[in-house]
């Protein structure tokens, strides 16, 4: 009986972990999370002014603007 309970608990943990991974995958790709990440990256860029970081940030902003609202203004890396 005890071994059966352990297997049931183990199965419940595996199922819960699977559901968590699926939900987390959708959350990471959501526009709200992407917007927060871009705002954070813009603040980081304002401190570093790294041209390589700027180029990758502009690409990230362009991809975000294609799929999501509100639109984020493209920064000038010049």
49: left (phi over 0), alpha (psi -120 to 50) or beta: left
- Apex CA 18: angle with CA 8 and CA 4, to 5°? 5
Averaged pLDDT of the chain = 87
Domains in the chain, number:
1
pLDDT-based confidence at 29, cuts 50/70/90?
A: low
Is residue 77 domain-resident?
Answer: no
Q: What is the mean pLDDT of residues 48-52?
A: 93
- Please state which of the ranges 5-9, 22-26, 51-55, 73-77 shows the lowest mean pLDDT: 22-26
Q: Which domain holds residue 53?
A: 2-67
In the predicted structure, residue 74 carries a pLDDT above the cut 90: yes
């Amino acid at each position: 009986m005890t071994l059966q309970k352990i297997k049931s608990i183990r199965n419940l943990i595996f199922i819960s972990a699977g559901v968590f991974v699926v939900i987390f995958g959708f959350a990471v790709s959501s526009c709200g999370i992407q917007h927060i990440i871009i705002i954070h990256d813009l603040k980081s860029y304002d401190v570093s002014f790294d041209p390589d970081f700027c180029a990758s940030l502009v690409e990230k902003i362009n991809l975000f603007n294609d799929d999501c609202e509100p639109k984020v203004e493209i920064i000038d890396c010049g």
